[in-house]
Amino acid sequence: MISLHTSPVRRRRLGVATAAAGMLATLLMAGPAAATPDPGDRGEARTGVSAARQAEARAAIESGEVPGVDEIVHSSNITHLANVPKDALKGLNTDLAFQGKYAFAGNYDGFRIFDISNPSAPKTVSQVLCPGSQNDISVSGNLLFLSTDSSRSDNSCTSTTQPATEKSSWEGMKVFDISDKRNPKYVAAVETACGSHTHTLVPERKNVYVYVSSYSPSATFPDCQPPHDGISVIKVPRNAPEKAAVVNFPVLFPDGGNPGAPENPGVSKTTGCHDITVLPSKDLAAGACMGDGLLFSIKDPENPKIIDRVQDNVNFAFWHSATFNQTTDKVVFTDELGGGGAATCNEEIGPKRGANGIYDIVGKGDHRKLVFRSYFKIDRPQADTEVCVAHNGSIIPVKGRDLMVQAWYQGGVSVWDFTDSSKPKEIGYFERGPVSTDAVTTAGPWSAYYYNGYIYSNDIAKGFDVLKLDDRRTDPAKRVRLDELNVQTQPDYFDR
């Protein structure tokens, strides 16, 4: 039996536990520029709260309901092996990608490469200054891809912020050559409509297709005009990445998508997608698109085809990300209630909002449907000064089980089982106590992913964490080894 609580017993639960010319990549020798947060994963640093809320946060710590400020607690099946604090890049830490013995960590100010050959002692290989939120990151072969979703003065790594109302402003995808991990080189840039909040790779032998997710158009933005009802598809030749270009903009919402308020109060109006996950071996993709969830075919990667579309206008505010199970008969969608800037893991919000939605995929081929089964939200209480919401996670590859590790901002890292899609349950966790008891502060894991026997987490404020998971239910995953992992490009773990 695994004990889930190694900290003092908590008395309250939340509810049912369910480079081209002119481009320059600057290897850091000096302090970086300030990050520029964006909506969707906003990352406001601090927001004051009332004296009553401050008192409640302190009382929760004193009673043992939540850990103390910055106190680390975890279940007995998890060991905290390492933490590497921020160094030259002072912005918000974001997503992770992996290749061989390396981990690639995004940051609003650029990216950092770690040598993880010894998971207990990760070593920094290089840090690249290239400001432009949110710097969503992925890798394929010798190429690294970086999303820019803040309006910049140009496409270089020395750019400065500039209003999106100015035609000369730039947002989009950047491409680096990482054949030398100690000296990445900026080799290409592609401007995309409304920038690139996130991106997803569909790799082929000669080319890499990149699905670019972005949203929030405005009639005042010359390069981000409404309607913005699709995604940009970029084709990147591996041997000539400088020739990367947009080859299509497929319309995913011919009817305009979820209208949001006032028709659907509290729900985001769909003006694009936030994130897409593909499972290339199955020619399948799932899109988390603000007010809509999508299932679509990618048999022709330049022309994705919608199979099914669902909405949840009761409990989902912002469809944020998606994860398939290995047998592709389930998909987990996350709801980023509050846009990553609010305390949502409390009794006031409850167990069904700011949660995961688990859907079964039923039927065959283009007649498949998404069928809702249940919600899952961590039931470990969090202080009302802690930003806590469902965020990025990955499958833990075990045959016959559907297991996942997931980041919850200041809710920490959760390991949970959704083998029974109607009865999901947490089986392990790691978290830190609140950063502050007098303000709502964005911190905690942005991403938590399982890679080659370990869990790696990029904490927005505290740095890069490595966790070891020892549990009879998850131990078989330790035998699964990958050469590369971009979580939004899900591998077929058992048929390679």
Task: Judge whether 235 and 245 are in contact, CB under 8 Å.
Answer: yes
Residue whose C-alpha is closest to residue 64's, from 12, 10, 14, 4: 10
Beta 369-376 vs 356-362: how paired, if at all? antiparallel
Residue whose C-alpha is closest to residue 230's, from 191, 273, 192, 268: 273
Q: Which of 7-21, 45-59, 371-385 has the lowest mean pLDDT?
A: 7-21
Q: What is the pLDDT of residue 38?
A: 37
Confidence check: pLDDT of 66 > 60: yes
Task: Judge whether 139 and 482 are in contact, CB under 8 Å.
Answer: no
DSSP state of 267: S
% of the chain residues with pLDDT over 70: 91
Q: What value does the mean pLDDT of the chain take?
A: 91
Q: What is the pLDDT of residue 46?
A: 66
Task: Judge whether 60 and 454 are in contact, CB under 8 Å.
Answer: no
Question: What tokens were used for 181?
Answer: 């991990």
The confidence band for 439, taking pLDDT boundaries of 50, 70 and 90, is: confident
Q: How many helices (H) and strands (E) does the chain have?
A: 1, 33
Q: Average pLDDT, stretch 394-413?
A: 98
pLDDT tens-digit readout, 32-64: 222 233 334 444 456 777 887 778 888 888 888
Alpha carbons 50 and 66: distance in angstroms, whole number: 19
% of the chain residues with pLDDT over 90: 83
Residue whose C-alpha is closest to residue 391's, from 7, 48, 42, 15: 42
Provide φ and ψ at 245, rounded to 5°: -160, 155
Confidence check: pLDDT of 95 > 90: yes
357, burial (CB in 10 Å: exposed 0-12, middle 13-18, buried 19+): buried
Residue whose C-alpha is closest to residue 311's, from 266, 279, 378: 266
pLDDT tens-digit readout, 160-186: 999 999 999 999 999 999 999 999 999
pLDDT tens-digit readout, 238-287: 999 999 999 999 999 999 999 999 999 999 999 999 999 999 999 999 99
- Among all chains, which residue has been given the structure tokens 């995961």? 356
Amino acid at 223: D
Q: Average pLDDT, stretch 110-119?
A: 98
Task: Assign 156 to helix, strand or coil.
Answer: coil
Question: What tokens were used for 473?
Answer: 């239910």
**Confidence (pTM):** 0.92
Q: Which of 19-23, 406-410, 452-456 has the lowest mean pLDDT?
A: 19-23
Confidence check: pLDDT of 83 > 70: yes
